[in-house]
Chains A and B, each alone.
Chain A
Amino acid sequence: MFDSPLTIGSCVSLPKPELDRLMAALREQGYQTVGPRLKDDAIVYETVETLADLPQGYASQQDKASFRLMQTGRRNYFDAIPGAQSWKQFIFPPRITLFSANKDEQWHIREADEPAPRYALIGVRACELAAIEIQDRVFLRSDYRDPIYRQRREGLFILAVNCLYPTGTCFCASMGTGPQVQKGFDLCLTELDDVFLVEIGSDLGRIALSQCSFQPASAFVQQAANDGLARAAQRMGRQLDTSDLPDLLIDNLEARHWDAVGKRCLSCANCTQVCPTCFCWDAVDHINLTGTETSRERVWDSCYNPYYSYQAGGGNTRPSIKSRYRQWLTHKLGSWKEQFGTFGCVGCGRCITWCPVGIDLTEEIPALRKEAQS
């Protein structure tokens, strides 16, 4: 054990096997440790218990409509840029019961009695952390605080990781969200060959780390980490000029380009499902055969859903795919700013990777810009 007291903001050098002890310590405190795993030729976020569960030696090669895992020849655990899943499934679950009720003479609401799980997220990247903070602004406001989100968010432990090897669809540098993790974490790792450089971000992080065996971070280790980060910032797969956003989108709602991209889009909703900031949801009601038990479930929805804007007796305000694509993009990089103060996009690139027809917003925005300027 290191003798000097750990402080928030300080860095230590953690031998990689100690991460197992860290995860065990978190579990002892009641957290479920979840992190990246290899599954079905992709990276998913599921329960991880030790380093052995992580995708050691793998990286992901991503491009339009393409995700491939490859072995790097390195022994790193956190090189693989994530797949379709994001961390939002843990604080904004894809399906969850809002309440249930049963009827004898009258209906009575039954409260959900299980406490919310407490997750320790292992390996949160800068873009993903930015996405969580963006969702905080959506779900935790003065005029509306979502109780489900709040409970899970308050119980969250974030072990962030700096990206050293961005992939083809990454453009976090353009969005100002990465590749370096700045704030909002409990612990933050930068992975080197044998050790993790660990920065302490909070008391929770400090306490968890105090269970482990670490060394002071040498200047060499710190330099290696900085070099890695500097290289990563130069290695972005894509870039996006945001200087004229959101106005470029809001002022060109009737551009011909929307028709062009509308013809390609399938309205499959992949992009909204993989996007770490998309927050739309629907309420689904269930009832038993005798009409005495009901429950209301919240499920993820998407503005690409053909019935998203459908009103009984009022028709559909966005019947065409073009109108729905336009809604998504003008919201994500346009009106979101007016609503919540930031862009909705963090530059993670998932929408580009997982669009089956390869629509790439880092190309769509320049196309609109070109039409607007002509």
Chain B
Amino acid sequence: MPSQPEVIETFKRIPWFERLEPRHFDKLAEIATIRHVEAGEQLFREGEKEDNLYIVIEGRIALEIFVPHRGRIRIGTVEPMEVFGWSSVTPNVHQRTASAYVVLNSLLIVFNSEKLRQLCDEDHDLGYVVMRRLANVIASRLLTTRLQLIDMFADPSEQKNV
């Protein structure tokens, strides 16, 4: 079990944590763990009932979806300081919609989402701060996805008449 000092040191590398009120910082530090993963590991798979929120500190994680007849499509990568697994925080269905594959040896902060939800339920101030942060994360991911969807580099003449 990684020590609390290691968690606290790691938290300090992330600007958002630094700006938290000390009581919120402490509550989150209590439920967080550090994990080192190796390239090639499968963190979780689509369809699994995995329930963690992750922050990448170092390394790279790939999100992939398996499309029958086409294979595994890598829909995005998660870089240092980015969040993944956020859908578990406010779940409708407790199921992963994409798989997470470790591309480069990585250092991750892991939050158990049930514990995180509990903290937020008990302390609404903390809950608000956490949800706002998650909203930013999702907005950013949505913009990326939209730009991928637009296919920015497509030749305009391929798509419609001039």
Residues of B within 8 A of A316 (CB): 156, 162
- Contact bitstring A285-325, B, C-beta under 8 A = 1, else 0: 00000000000000000000011001011111001000000
**Smallest beta-carbon distance A314→chain B, Å:** 6
- Min CB distance A259 to B, Å, is 20
Residue B125 at the chain A interface, CB threshold 8 Å = no
The answer to whether A306 touches B162 (Cβ under 8 A) is: yes
Q: Which residue from chain A places its CB closest to the CB of B155 in the assembled complex?
A: A313
B156 engages A307 (CB within 8 Å):
no
In the complex, B157 has a CB within 8 A of chain A:
yes
User: Across the interface, do B157 and A313 meet the contact criterion of CB distance under 8 Å?
Assistant: yes
Q: Which single residue of chain B is at the shortest CB-CB distance from A312?
A: B157
* Residue of B with least CB distance to A311: B156
Total A-B contacts with CB atoms under 8 angstroms apart: 15
Q: Compute how far the CA of A310 lies from the CA of B157 in the bound complex, rounded to whole angstroms.
A: 10
Minimum CB–CB distance from B151 to chain A (whole Å) comes to 13
Residue of B nearest to A319 (CB): B162
A315 to B151, CA, bound (A): 14
* B159: min CB distance to chain A, Å: 8
Chain B hits for A307, CB < 8 A? 162
Q: Is the CB of A314 within 8 A of B156?
A: yes
B146-162 with Cβ < 8 A to chain A: 155-157, 162
Main secondary structure of the interface of A (DSSP, over half): loop
A316-B161 Cα distance, complex, nearest whole Å: 9
Q: Which residue of B lies closest to A306 (CB)?
A: B162
CB-CB contacts below 8 Å: A20-73 with B = none
CA of A348 to CA of B156, assembled, Å: 40
Measured between alpha carbons, how far is A312 from B162 in the docked complex, in Å? 10
- Could you tell me if B162 and A310 are in contact, using CB atoms closer than 8 angstroms? yes
- In the assembled complex, the Cα of A310 lies from the Cα of B155 at a distance in Å of 12
For A314, the closest partner residue in chain B by CB is B156
With A and B bound together, what is the CA distance between A252 and B16 in angstroms? 42
B161 to chain A, nearest CB (A): 8
B157 contact set on A, CB distance < 8 A? 312-313, 315
Shortest distance from the beta carbon of B42 to any chain A beta carbon, whole Å: 40
Query: Whole-angstrom distance between the alpha carbons of A316 and B157 in the complex?
Result: 9
Closest B residue to A313 by beta carbon equals B155
Residues of A within 8 A of B162 (CB): 306-307, 310, 315-316, 319
B80 CB to closest chain A CB (Å) equals 36
Least CB distance, B125 to chain A, in whole angstroms? 43
Per the bound structure, the CA–CA distance linking A306 and B156 in Å amounts to 15
Q: Tell me which of A307, A310, A313, A315 has the highest count of chain B C-beta atoms within 10 A of its own C-beta.
A: A315
CA A373 to CA B157, docked complex, whole Å: 39
A-side contacts of B155, CB under 8 Å: 313, 315
Taken together as a complex, chains A and B put the C-alpha atoms of A290 and B124 apart, in Å, by 81
Residue of A nearest to B154 (CB): A315
Q: How far is the CA of A312 from the CA of B158 in the complex (A)?
A: 11
Q: What are the residues of chain B within 8 A of A319 when measuring CB–CB?
A: 162
C-alpha spacing A138/B17, complex, angstroms = 60
Closest Cβ–Cβ distance, residue A319 to chain B (whole Å): 7
For B162, give the chain A residue with the smallest CB separation. Answer: A316
Residue of B nearest to A307 (CB): B162
User: In A314-345, which residues have CB < 8 Å from any B CB?
Assistant: 314-316, 319
7 pairs from A and B in contact (CB 8 Å cutoff): A307-B162, A310-B162, A312-B157, A313-B157, A314-B156, A315-B162, A319-B162
Q: Sorted from nearest, which 4 A-B pairs have the closest CB atoms?
A: A315-B156, A316-B162, A310-B162, A313-B155
Contacts A312-B157, A313-B157 aside, 8 further interface pairs with beta carbons under 8 A come to: A307-B162, A310-B162, A313-B155, A313-B156, A314-B156, A315-B156, A315-B157, A315-B162
